[in-house]
Chain A
Amino acid sequence: MVEIAEAKKRSTNRKPKAKKTKLSRKQLTDLYYYMVLNRALDDRVTSLYKQGKFQGGAFVSRGQEATSVGSAYALEEGDVIGPMIRNSGAILVRGVPPREFLANYLGKKTGPTQGKDGNSHFGDLKRNIFAPVSMLGVLIPVCAGAALAFKMKKQPNVALTWIGDGGASIGDFHEGLNFAAVMKLPFVLILENNGYAYSTPTSKQSLVEDFVIRAQGYGIPGEIVDGNDVLAVYEVTKRAVERARKGGGATLIEAKTFRMKGHAEHDDAFYVPKKIIEYWQKRDPIINYEKYLLKEKVLSKKELTDIQSSVAKEMDEAQKFAEESPLPEAKEAAEGLYAS
């Protein structure tokens, strides 16, 4: 088990470490691309919401892109993920195209749920993505079940899911994590401590400052990571995933990060003190990673700009696809209840 004090020390370094990473230039570029894509997708969701193009809630993950992208990038194709509403970055890493994402927001037939559910509430069996439900924590036991299936089938795969500081209060957290721990399942839980559960600050959620100490109670390794440092998130996840693949059981990772917007687009987050926002603005995961890429001469300024423009183009096409896609036929509401 990693000593918590030591882990905390590591997490205080909010800038990406300049140390040598084992990742190739292609991989480092991928991480940047997915974070930029994540933010562009979120921004597009916001703008479609503001234009009244869809009725439901709009959930974005500004400030948390590094957690989703870094962790999902540490997985293999056959691994299962159980994303929450703020893990669209992970869904993108798994290969779901932004156009399907936007189509789902718009309730279109071409979205993964064909209009049955909204926003990022979808799963994708081909890509081993489990859909979340609005009741937080549900995916913890469910993903433990996927991990159990891997163990039973002797497949060297891992199931990974996320929870927030708020969701960590629900009973499913305890039952699911303890189940995975006791059964030594290939399971990784990333707790994104992002400061707020809707409007409730973490201080009103738990007396514990570092949720990672809970890992001790389950007898599993726990690590804290700077959730705004994509490389650190990648590394810590990779470690946990590799351990799980080798039969080392479950891990709890606490990613310290911040939700830079309200719970959803209808929430202006008036309850968040300005100073806190300013503090985290300086720690924007994308801007900091850009600095790192430039400093380490991984990518040039122009290459960064090229990626941004190609993402913008991709997003324009995605929006066009989503808007031009047909709505489902009303009678389809009665279809698909049971699997045949």
Chain B
Amino acid sequence: MSTITYIEAITKGLREEMQRDESVFCLGEDIGEYGGAFKVTKGFIKEFGEERVVDTILAETAIVGVSIGAAIMGLRPVAEMQFADFISNGWNQLVNMGAKTHYRWGAAVPMVIRLPSGGGLHAGPFHSQNPEAWFFHVPGLKLVAPSTPYDAKGLIKSAVRDNNPVLYFEHKYLYRHVKGEVPDDDYTIPIGKAEIKRVGKDITLITYGSMVQFSLEAAENVTKLGVEVEVLDLRSLLPFDKEMILESVKKTNRAMIVHEATLTGGIGGEISACITQDAFEYLDAPVKRVASIDTPVPYSPPLEAYFMPNTEKITKALRELAEY
């Protein structure tokens, strides 16, 4: 067991998978000698050689397409998008080829795309997006978004071992802002299973990724009002743990969804619909959503702060929901 950062946990998990299985390899822009824009693969080229740490041309369509082809041939590529935003260039490959291959003709596509995503670092409209909802609507893909170093390591391992295309949303703000205890041995976190990060009886707060920490802080804030919030970390966005969500909502009778991605068309809408459809009679209040406002991610610090949810905004929403 060691206390490490979120980004170190990703590196650790990835390195262990590459050591464990020769068919795992990494590819992406600047991931070799440079170690990746955020240094996730720092030192990998020395340890695994340039054959397994493939520094690619600047071409996201090719990176995704090549990963699909190599995966169909039985390898396990882990592709890095330098920034999650750039996956838009690989969209067609992923959505039309990668996601549909097994359904159409039975070939497995065991690949991972790592997506450094999210805001809070004043990186502007093209280096701060949370594009998970773009892919949430695509049958055949799996989406995961860890919030802690422990989950980051366990989920990268599950993603690598999964026989389907998995999008691994790693949050850039969490990279060096979050530390935690991570076992040195091998463990995985099952894809599709959420976790209750805080037990409570009054409100179910469903969240993931960067918003987990803020949500836990907000939950702590409202204890002063005598409100006990249950914080449920989805960890997997597709498929998501509908069972655990419903079970918790049936216990608390109030639900709130928090995500950093923009509100309209976000994952929160689908979760809210699930709750109202399958647990309506248990609800004492309308399902509430907290998300970023519907604009591109602005650059300047006060603008970005206004754009994104934070502990204060979540606290306020929790109070409103408790008082409804």
Contacts and interface: CB of A to CB of B under 8 A. Distances in A.
Interface stretch (B100-108, B263-271, B289-297, B307-315): B100-108
B175 interface: no
A175 to B, nearest CB: 4
A162 interface: no
A141 B106 CA distance: 20
B274 interface: no
B109 A339 contact: yes
A133 B102 contact: no
B68 A142 contact: yes
A161 to B, nearest CB: 10
Interface stretch (A112-120, A295-303, A307-315): A112-120
Contacts of A135: 92, 96
Interface stretch (B70-78, B245-253, B280-288): B70-78
A171 B100 CA distance: 21
Interface residues of B, number: 42
A163 interface: no
Interface stretch (A123-131, A242-250, A255-263, A322-330): A123-131
A225 to B, nearest CB: 25
Contact of B73 (A80, A133, A175, A182): A80
Contact of A339 (B25, B59, B96, B108): B108
Contacts of A147: 69
A144 B139 CA distance: 25
B105 A145 contact: no
Given A142-B65, A175-B59, A124 B105 contact: yes
B252 to A, nearest CB: 31
Q: Could you say which of B61, B65, B105, B142 has the most chain A C-beta atoms within 10 Å of its C-beta?
A: B105
Contacts of B70: 145-146, 148-149, 152
The range of chain A's interface size is: 35 or more
A138 B96 contact: yes
A185 to B, nearest CB: 9
B146 to A, nearest CB: 20
Contacts of B73: 80, 145-146, 149-150, 153
A177 to B, nearest CB: 9
Contacts of A221: none
Given A116-B104, A121-B104, A179-B62, A145 B68 contact: yes
Contacts of A125: 72, 105-107
B188 interface: no
A84 interface: no
A152 B51 contact: yes
A130 B68 CA distance: 11
A178 interface: yes
Contacts of A18: none
A143 interface: yes
A240 B97 CA distance: 27
Contacts of B100: 133
A339 B164 CA distance: 6
Given A145-B71, A338-B164, A179 B92 contact: no
A84 B104 CA distance: 15
Nearest to A176: B62
Contacts of A117: 104-105
Contact of B65 (A152, A175, A338, A339): A175
Contacts of B96: 133-135, 138
Given A122-B104, A133-B96, A152 B68 contact: no
A134 B69 CA distance: 17
B66 interface: yes
Interface of A: 80, 112-113, 116-117, 121-125, 130-131, 133-135, 138, 140-153, 159, 171-172, 175-176, 178-179, 182-183, 336-340
Given A130-B107, A138-B93, A178-B57, 5 more contacts: A142-B65, A148-B54, A179-B56, A179-B59, A182-B57
Instruction: Please list the 3 inter-chain residue pairs (A to B) with the smallest Cβ-Cβ separation, ordered nearest first.
Output: A145-B69, A141-B65, A339-B108
29 contacts: A112-B105, A116-B105, A117-B105, A122-B104, A125-B107, A133-B96, A133-B97, A140-B65, A142-B97, A146-B70, A148-B54, A150-B73, A151-B51, A152-B51, A152-B52, A171-B61, A172-B93, A176-B65, A176-B66, A179-B56, A179-B59, A183-B54, A336-B102, A336-B106, A338-B140, A338-B164, A339-B102, A339-B109, A339-B110
Interface of B: 25, 51-52, 54, 56-57, 59, 61-62, 64-75, 77, 92-93, 96-97, 100-110, 139-140, 142, 163-164
